[in-house]
Amino acid sequence: MEKQNKKIGILTFWYGNSNYGQILQCFALQHFLRRQGYDAYLIRFIGYGESRFRKFVKACLPFLCAKPDKFDRMRHFEAFRKEHLQMSPLYTSLAQIQQNPPKAEAYIAGSDQIWMQSLDNPQQRAYFLDFGDERTKRIAYAASFGIESYPESHRELLGQQLQRFNAISCRERSGIDICKQVGAEATRVLDPTLLLTREDYLNLNPNLNPDENSSLFIYSLNISSAEDIRWNELRETIDGKVVVTPAAGYNESAELFGSDVEYLYATPWQWVTQIASAGLVVTTSFHGIAFSILMHTPFVYVPLKGTFAKANNRILDLLRDLHLEDRTLSEQTTYGEIIARPIDWKTVDDVLNEKRKESIEFLEKALGVPLHT
């Protein structure tokens, strides 16, 4: 399809106010496509449905979450969305988006864990692009299931939903396997944040000027205790300033590391700057690791345990691709051992550039036109 003035509607997660990876992956794909000449925009969908109870809960959320909102306002996510994202009107149900679908020559579903929720909930069919004209191209870009295997009881329905797509790509190897199990062919691609380079991010924000220092930056996501990242060991291993950005994911955000650290409720650009400037990043987060890699910042990845361990494969896949598995904290390793290992950033960049090229080639083929980096 021709690029000029052609609309691409992107349906992904966008509405959180503390998850930096979510908002930046949403931004990155739209920015990349608009740079190619497309009129790409975010389809704002939140599947509340139409019941009175759901409407009541939606109305009450600002009051029920007063304390988190105090900190979330400091992050200025809504201002970031208004400044950097082109957005559709808000759709709050599958029925609503089916009755008045957004206009586009192509729809893209993804990235993030958009296919994680059960298809028992009909609202989730929106993330399989179950709306709009049948002639509109439907593409999945870096979609994630967030699980190792799909429930057998829902595989037939999943296969039916995937038949709607002209082209499918997933972020993790497990996603490729799930698609294959239900008869759908999928390609593995990079998360949208990695379609852009370090220089792209630095050029996008003139105030994003990394000042390298020896500070430790902890992006605290999906943990409920400081010892989930072996804080006592880490504190004894490093010297200097410690900056912590708490964020809500599977758990609410919380200040877990005592009063001798600095808590930063960063804007998205401040968060990127903090990673670019840090002497070391420690996190459980996929996007915390992704941006550390982009910014050439040494890092330690701490895998999640228990119920949330299913989210580890997306990060482990990326580290294996880039030959960075030795940056993972385990029972057999210490922080000191990992920190002492140098990172060969040239080799990392060479592999990443090749993966980026393959991901762009997927989009070229899916959209039917050549793209440029």
- Segment 235-271, tens digit of pLDDT: 999 988 999 999 987 777 889 999 999 999 999 999 9
- pLDDT band, very low/low/confident/very high, at 110 (cuts 50, 70, 90): confident
Res 2: pLDDT: 61
- Look at residue 58 and tell me whether its pLDDT is greater than 50: no
What pLDDT is attached to residue 87? Answer: 97
Q: What is the structure's pLDDT at 212?
A: 64
Residue 57 pLDDT > 80, yes or no?
no
Name the percent of the chain in helix, strand, coil, to the closest 5: 45, 15, 40
The C-alpha atoms of residue 13 and residue 4 are separated, in whole angstroms, by 26
Residue with tokens 């609410």: 252
CA pair distance 109, 169, nearest whole angstrom: 10
b/e string for 309-318 if b means 16 or more Cβ within 10 A? ebbbbbbbbb
Residues 6+ apart with CB under 8 A from 311: 146, 222, 250, 286, 304
Write out the E strands in 118-263: 137-143, 167-170, 187-188, 216-221, 242-247, 262-263
pLDDT tens, 2-53? Answer: 666 799 999 999 999 999 999 999 999 999 999 999 999 999 999 865 444 3
pLDDT over 90 at 357, yes or no: yes
The pLDDT value recorded for residue 63 is: 38
The pLDDT of residue 55 is above 90: no
Q: Work out the end-to-end distance of the chain between its first and last CA atoms, rounded to an integer number of angstroms.
A: 19
Name the band, by pLDDT with cuts 50, 70 and 90, for residue 61.
very low
Q: Which residues contact 206 (CB under 8 A, 6 or more apart)?
A: none
State yes or no: pLDDT of 320 exceeds 70: yes
Higher confidence at residue 371 or residue 221? 221
CATH class of 198-341: alpha beta
Kind plus residue range of the DSSP H or E element containing 83: helix 77-84
Token match 């709050």: residue? 92
CATH architecture of 7-196+353-367: 3-Layer(aba) Sandwich (3.40)
Beta strands in 196-277 (DSSP E): 216-221, 242-247, 262-263
Question: Where in the chain are the domains?
Answer: 7-196+353-367, 198-341
